[in-house]
Amino acid sequence: MMPSMREVIVAANWKMHTSPGDASELARTISARTRVPSVTRVICPPFVALASVRDALAQDDPDVGIGAQNVHHELQGAYTGEISAPMLAGLATWVIVGHSERRRDAGDTDEIIGLKLGRAVAAGLRPILCVGEQLGDREVGRQVDVVRRQLTGALAGHAPSALRHGGLVIAYEPVWAIGTGRNASGQDAAAMSSAIHSIVEDAWGDTRDDTPVLYGGSVTSANIAEFLAESEVDGALVGGASLKPDEMAGIVARAGLTAAARHTSE
């Protein structure tokens, strides 16, 4: 395969951790330890900490993207406790859509996720669309079928140009690897990444899809190299390890090597 020119992204998914007070401190510490050229860094704190993280980084490190972990599929209405895409204006420039924990706990279907994707892009939020199979699917070799169904469901009805323009990123997160300490292999991640590009090309009728594809699932500073050694993998969506500055420093430093190598080969 030709050397990839795709951007290298490390996104931190803080899930339901941190408060507005300690999130700003953590964001500042991580930002100071991850200033690596050419790596796109994103921090996704809980909704209530978006403003404090934004304020903490606005002066010091405005290059860090700030993302929400979810968004509602309607613009407004009687949806108690929900947050719509326009409400995130000024708070976030990225959003995670379709995380497996929301598929599991909040009943997010591929159709709903597709609607969220549209709302995100329309509001100028750069979406990280998460896909990934359950362990049982992988054990019977159905992982690509599952990811194909998730992707085609979410992408249906969206103009490729709108999603491209909106900066779509796809994160492959095998459910069995999330929060379990059991990561996929670099080869598995690369194989799925190739499959994802083919699926997107089929869905969009394109010849060469250049959507960045991240790997997520128990990524740490100790295993990130295995993923980034694969030219098909464009970075990581990091959960547990993203709350630890040492871990983030190691992960982003390794991502910087990949980013530098891609620039050199340009």
**99 catalytically annotated:** yes
Choice between 116 and 262, CB closer to ligand PGA? 116
Q: Which of 72, 73, 99, 197 is catalytic?
A: 99
| Residue 218 engages ligand PGA in binding (rule: CB under 6 A) | yes
Given candidates 98, 240, 250, 256, which one binds ligand PGA under the rule CB under 6 A?
Answer: 240
Q: Is-contact 26 241, C-beta < 8 A?
A: no
| Binding pattern for the stretch 147-186 against ligand PGA, x by CB under 6 A and - elsewhere | --------------------------x----xx-------
Buried b (16+ CB within 10 A) or exposed e, 222-250: ebbebbbebbbbbbbbbbbbbbbbebbbb
Choice between 166 and 239, CB closer to ligand PGA? 239
Q: Which residues pair with 130 in a beta bridge?
A: 171
Cα 229 from chain centre: 19
- What's the full length of the chain, in residues? 266
Neighbours of 92 (CB within 10 A): 30
The torsion of the CA quartet 42, 47, 53, 55, rounded to 10 degrees, works out to 120
Q: Which of 133, 173, 232, 247 is catalytic?
A: 173
| Residue 238 engages ligand PGA in binding (rule: CB under 6 A) | yes
3-state secondary structure 197-229: HHHHHHHHCCCCCCCCEEEECCCCCCCHHHHHC
Q: How far is the CB of 60 from ligand PGA (least distance, A)?
A: 25
| Residue 248 engages ligand PGA in binding (rule: CB under 6 A) | no
Joined together, the tokens standing for residue 53 give 């993280």
Q: How far is the CB of 204 from ligand PGA (least distance, A)?
A: 25
Residue type present at position 27? A
**17 catalytically annotated:** no
Which residues neighbour 102 within 8 Å (Cβ) at sequence distance 6 or greater? 70, 108
Q: How far is the CB of 226 from ligand PGA (least distance, A)?
A: 14
- Residue of minimal CB distance from ligand PGA? 239
Given candidates 170, 219, 224, 228, which one binds ligand PGA under the rule CB under 6 A?
Answer: 219
Given candidates 167, 217, 250, 256, which one binds ligand PGA under the rule CB under 6 A?
Answer: 217
Query: Phi/psi at 129 (nearest 5 deg)?
Result: -90, 120
| Residue 235 engages ligand PGA in binding (rule: CB under 6 A) | no
Interface region with ligand PGA, contact rule CB under 6 A, candidates 116-124, 157-165, 205-213, 238-246: 238-246
Q: How far is the CB of 241 from ligand PGA (least distance, A)?
A: 6
| Binding pattern for the stretch 13-52 against ligand PGA, x by CB under 6 A and - elsewhere | x---------------------------------------
Neighbours of 6 (CB within 10 A): 18
Joined together, the tokens standing for residue 248 give 């983030």
Residue numbers at the binding site for ligand PGA (CB under 6 A): 13, 173, 178-179, 216-219, 237-241
Q: Which are the catalytic amino acids?
A: 99, 173
